[in-house]
Structure 1
Amino acid sequence: MKAVHCPRIGIIGAGGHGREVAQTVARVNGADDRSPRRELAGFFDDNCDDARVKRLGFEILGPCASADLPCLVGIGSGAIRRTFDEVVETAPPTIDMSALVGDDVTIGPGAVVFANAMITTNISLGRHVHIGRGASIGHDSVVRDYASVMPLGSISGGVTIGEAAFIGTGALIRQGLTIGAGATVGMGAVVLQDVAPGATVVGNPARQIG
């Protein structure tokens, strides 16, 4: 994947998830040539104690609505990332230096692939998709815009993750399934059947609770 030049960016959201995005940008700047090196100007956030941000050497540049730079959205909710995508210029994708990204993989603008994730082959990641630490996406899968796969989530081959769906930490998704748009798969769930749009499933085997 060819790196796109983007010299100066911001991050929307200075909470824990946003600070993890910042750390990924820093690691890319240090050692990786698959994502563009870029200057991280700071964070845009509406209500944040900036002491933790300052310890990272950054500052709060202003409220989210004032963002005037291309941005990554450092917020765990895909639905919220979608709202910012409609009003803020999007930065190119960011791929951690330790992530393994195979051949024939497309990664959309604003996406973040965190440390030790594995993206195998013939995979499409949409706009502002977040693939968490140590998560894996199997061959021939599609992760649509604004979806989130949290740390250690394991997506088998041929799976479709719908727009703004949320896959919780350590969840397992069987091959060939479809997780509907806006669905939530709970932490550690073992999903053996398709999940309807907007549904919430939990447990082993996963059952719908909402």
Structure 2
Amino acid sequence: MNIYAPNEPLSRRALWSEILDVKNSLQGLWVLMGDFNEVRDASERLNSEFVEANADAFNHFILSAGLVEYNMGGGNYTYISDNGKKLSKLDRFLVCLGFKEQWPNATVLALDRVASDHRPIILSTVQSDFGHIPFRFFNSWFELPGFLDFVLQRCGAFSFSGSEDLALAIKLRWLKYKIKARLKVEKENTEGLYDTKKRRLATIENLAE
């Protein structure tokens, strides 16, 4: 169920009651996600008003619906005000006990803000460690000035004494790291300013938290 709760507290409480009725009428695994426009305790607000009665009503709804929540990584808050002073954890995933039992090691991660005053959040039931990332070569790299000459020069500069199959494997691995280093410099030159400001914004938000 995708949720966007209203700002008015009485309307939110009416929504909690409506959701509870719907959930009790249907069987199956439940995942409630979205902007609940409410926090569960005072620690989920920074420089903004905390109303205990509203939090109690929200927690009572969660308990009555038999829902639980995974710990969130990536940040403590999901919403930041326009002036950057007020932060709150308004977005979350609430899951039923059956879901939690089936995926006890699921994770919730808050991503960096890009185009909104809310952080995107992701619920993943898949283990994130897939080993080494395969090296992918894109034809578009040949459009970079001097890239083809760079590759040919590096291929010609490689030397290895040993069996041919081992030499080929080592040469390709060596060439991969040379290309990655070249592309890193290229990326820093073309996207450095944007990436620097984006990282700076993420750092400021983490410091604010």
Fold conserved between structures, TM > 0.5: no
Structure possessing the higher relative contact order (Cα contacts under 8 Å, 6 or more residues apart): 2
Task: Name the one with the larger helix percent.
Answer: 2
Q: Smaller-chain TM-score range?
A: under 0.3
TM-score (norm 2): 0.20
Name the one with the larger strand percent: 1
TM-score by length of structure 1 reads 0.20
Compare CA radii of gyration and give the structure with the larger one: 2
